[in-house]
């Protein structure tokens, strides 16, 4: 690990275009579909990142970050910290590159995500949420070897996610707003960078669950904050305990506003997608739709990023039935 981190710098359009070429053979160019809800609802389109080979957008960033490692870094293998989706992304990219991968995993991650990481050949170390969050801040973990790939605070990781923004503008040039869920902030920093570089008038909104909304709190306070009333929920892929100062620096010039939604609104959005489009979304993937349905982002066209669909099917059925 470097003793001094690289200074935060903007994700330039050239970074994004190069990343797009670099990861083209690894990722899927996911479809963007209209959600038909009728005239009384906003015009909503869904960017289906749940259809990636790992069923989550994280493959974009992981593929770009691993591809850009030096030969000496690759020889050491890679490791990351994850609630499941980033771990799958890094494990998938590492397997393609023929290098070993370890993942420090939050122990409450869905079984489906844990099984997927194992199937991809990753060595897993399960730890409590607090331990994983501290390791993210420290960028280190005892007795784990290899080159650390940060799951959100990494320029190359974010540039990979930004490729999604190029696809959105190509498929829906009439877009007036984009909503993405926020966990660490890498997704919205990437997509927002691409959108603002080409169409700065388009509004970028972040979505968080009411049980874990540090970015909305930070926006209200004007500085990175800790969310003291944090509670674990089925929305495991979004909503952190705090906003890292470096990620706040990335998000502040890009994100126009934040929408906080309830867990019930999130469940309803999951059920609505299943009913209308036969899409299985995890909690974090449904947050943007729940946010769009509040009307706070306007009447659209709004693109909601369905960030992932990695959820145990039994749990999914339980959630949409309540």
CATH number at residue 254: 3.40.50.1100
pLDDT in tens, 210-267: 999 999 999 999 999 999 999 989 998 888 889 999 999 999 999 999 999 999 999 9
Rounded to whole angstroms, how far apart are CA atoms 198 and 169?
A: 9
Q: Are residues 142 and 25 in the same domain?
A: no
- Single out the residue of 100, 142, 110, 112 nearest to residue 125, CA to CA: 142
Q: Is the pLDDT score of 3 beyond 60?
A: no
Q: Are residues 283 and 196 in the same domain?
A: yes
What local confidence, expressed as pLDDT, does residue 312 receive?
85
**Domain membership flag for residue 6:** no
Neighbour tally for 68: CB within 10 Å: 17
User: What residue numbers bound the domain in which 103 lies?
Assistant: 59-148
Asked if residue 1 is part of any domain, the answer here is no
244 found inside a domain: yes
Q: How confident is the model at residue 1 (pLDDT cuts 50, 70, 90)?
A: very low
Answer for the pair 212, 239: CB distance below 8 angstroms, yes or no.
yes
- Judge whether 80 and 86 are in contact, CB under 8 Å: yes
Residue 8 lies in a domain: no
- Per-residue pLDDT, 206: 98
What pLDDT score does 167 carry?
A: 98
What pLDDT does 204 receive?
98
Mean pLDDT throughout 5-29?
Answer: 95
> With helix as H, strand as E and coil as C, how does 77-146 read?
CEEEEECCHHHHHHHHHHHHHCCCEEEEEECCCCHHHHHHHHHCCCEEEEECHHHHHHHHHHCCCCCCCC
Please say which residue of 148, 178, 195 terminates a domain.
148
H helix and E strand count, the chain: 13, 10
pLDDT, tens digit, 9 for 90 and up, residues 41-92 = 999 999 999 999 999 999 999 999 999 999 999 889 999 998 888 899 999 9
pLDDT number for residue 313:
87
**In terms of pLDDT, which residue wins out, 311 or 29?**
29
Q: Are residues 118 and 208 in the same domain?
A: no
Mean pLDDT of all residues in the chain? 93
Q: Using alpha carbons, select from 243, 310, 312 the residue that is nearest to residue 84.
A: 310
The residue among 179 and 311 whose pLDDT is bigger is 179
Asked if residue 2 is part of any domain, the answer here is no
Domain endpoint, select from 98, 113, 148: 148
Q: Are residues 187 and 254 in the same domain?
A: yes
Do the domain assignments include residue 250? yes
- Structure tokens belonging to residue 74: 């690759």
Q: What is the pTM of this model?
A: 0.92
Q: Give yes or no: residues 47 and 106 share one domain.
A: no
**Residue 104 in contact with residue 149, Cβ under 8 Å?**
no
- Number of domains present in the structure of the chain: 2
b/e map 276-312, b = 16+ CB within 10 Å: eeebbbbbbbbbbbbbbbeebbeebbbbbbbbbbbbb
User: Does one domain contain both 143 and 261?
Assistant: no
Which residue, 128, 148, 168, sits at the end of a domain? Answer: 148
| Nearest-angstrom CA–CA distance, 243 and 249 | 10
The secondary structure of residue 202, as a DSSP letter, is S
Phi, psi dihedrals of residue 109, rounded to the nearest 5°: -60, 145
**Cα–Cα distance measured from residue 16 to residue 28, given in angstroms and rounded to the nearest whole number:** 16
Residue 322 has pLDDT above 80, yes or no: no
Residue 144 shares a structural domain with residue 161: no
Cα separation, 247 vs 235, in Å, equals: 20
Asked if residue 69 is part of any domain, the answer here is yes
Q: Are both 191 and 289 inside the same structural domain?
A: yes
pLDDT on residue 113 = 86
- Specify whether 19 is located in the same domain as 160: yes
Burial of 270 (0-12, 13-18, 19+ CB in 10 A): buried
Going by pLDDT thresholds of 50, 70 and 90, the confidence category of residue 2 is: very low
For position 124, what pLDDT does the model report?
94
Q: Are residues 193 and 108 in the same domain?
A: no
Q: Is 50 exposed, middle or buried (0-12, 13-18, 19+ CB in 10 A)?
A: buried
List pLDDT tens digits, range 87-125. 999 999 999 999 999 999 988 888 888 999 999 999 999
């Amino acid at each position: 690990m470097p003793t001094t981190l690289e200074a935060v710098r903007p994700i330039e359009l050239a970074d994004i275009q190069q990343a797009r070429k670099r990861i083209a053979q690894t990722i899927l160019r996911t479809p963007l579909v209209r959600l038909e809800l009728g005239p009384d609802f906003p015009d909503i389109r869904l960017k289906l990142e749940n259809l990636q080979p790992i069923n989550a957008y994280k493959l974009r960033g992981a593929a770009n970050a691993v591809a850009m490692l030096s030969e000496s870094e690759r020889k050491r293998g890679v490791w990351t910290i994850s609630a499941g989706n980033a771990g799958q992304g890094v494990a998938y990219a590492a397997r393609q590159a023929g290098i070993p991968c370890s993942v420090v995993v939050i122990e409450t991650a869905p079984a489906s995500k844990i099984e997927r990481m194992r199937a991809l050949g990753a060595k897993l170390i399960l730890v409590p949420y607090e331990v994983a969050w501290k390791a993210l801040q420290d960028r280190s973990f005892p007795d784990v070897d290899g080159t650390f790939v940060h799951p959100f605070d990494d320029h190359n990781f974010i540039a990979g996610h930004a490729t999604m923004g190029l696809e959105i503008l190509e498929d829906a040039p009439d877009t007036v707003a984009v909503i993405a869920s926020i966990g660490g902030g890498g997704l919205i920093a990437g997509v927002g960078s691409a959108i603002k570089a080409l169409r700065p008038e388009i509004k970028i909104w972040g979505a968080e669950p009411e049980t874990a909304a540090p970015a909305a709190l930070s926006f209200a306070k004007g500085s990175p904050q800790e969310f003291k009333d944090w509670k674990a929920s089925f929305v495991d892929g979004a909503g952190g305990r705090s906003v890292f100062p470096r990620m706040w620096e990335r998000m502040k010039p890009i994100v126009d506003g934040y929408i906080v939604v309830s867990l019930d609104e999130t469940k309803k959005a999951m059920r609505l997608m299943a009913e209308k489009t036969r899409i299985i979304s995890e909690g974090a993937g449904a947050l943007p739709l729940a946010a769009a349905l509040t009307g706070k982002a306007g009447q659209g066209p709004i693109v909601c990023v369905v960030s992932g669909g990695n959820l145990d099917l039994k749990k999914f059925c339980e959630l949409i039935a309540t």
